[in-house]
Amino acid sequence: MAECFFNGCTNSVIPDSFKCIFHSQRGRCLVQDCRNQVYARNLCVRHGGKRPCAFDGCNLNSRVGKFCTKHSPTDSVRRCSHEGCQNQSHLRGKCFRHGGSKFCMMEGCVTYARNRGYCTRHTPPHLVARRSSVVKTEVKVENILPDHSLDLMLDFDPLVDTFDISPAPQLEHVTPTDWGVLVSLLAGSSN
């Protein structure tokens, strides 16, 4: 099967498309032979999707107003309100060192919060982004459910059989994304 159009993507394309499911809603750069996705104005960053710095002779992209960080006016960057500190402010007008950050919500942890109120070490598993469930386009039912569960589901006739699923802790590891894929696979196999 063909690979996705975009640079560095090795996912299989979806039917009647040149893109994979992950890139299906992303546009491609208008420049001929460019395999990058659109950033703005139907162009990728390399071909002008991001405005260049307004400083004469600078080829960097603008980040602070019309200028890159190197040429931006110093008054446009908010500074820490602590006396004598020139660091950039983050939260409540202060830099990290002077209290402009939040600490991890785990009791006793004094590490900076980075992911929904938790530090990297204490982020609960259900809050960690699972890139594989978004990027993968081919999921095998056998990898989601234990071997016997699939056989029971396929052989089940709701008009004749009764189906006892009371000992179901084996399915606790199935994520909502995987469950959605499973349901769509089973719905497709009944056609």
pLDDT at 133 over 50: no
Q: In whole angstroms, what is the distance from residue 4 CA to residue 10 CA?
A: 6
User: pTM here?
Assistant: 0.36
pLDDT of residue 72: 78
Region of poorest pLDDT, from 52-56, 122-126, 137-141: 137-141
Helices then strands, each counted (H, E), the chain: 4, 0
Q: Is 67 helix (H, G, I), strand (E, B) or coil?
A: strand
**133 neighbors 176 (Cβ within 8 angstroms):** no
Give domain limits for the chain.
1-44, 49-76
pLDDT at 146: 56
pLDDT(81) > 50: yes
Burial per residue of 20-37, b for 16 or more beta-carbon CB atoms within 10 angstroms, e otherwise: bbbbeeeebbeeeeeebb
Overall average pLDDT of the 152-170 stretch: 53
Q: What percent of the chain has a predicted confidence (pLDDT) above 70? A: 71
9-43 pLDDT, tens digit per residue, is 999 999 999 999 888 888 999 999 999 999 888 99
Window from 123-127, 169-173, 179-183 with minimum mean pLDDT: 169-173
Mean pLDDT of the chain: 77
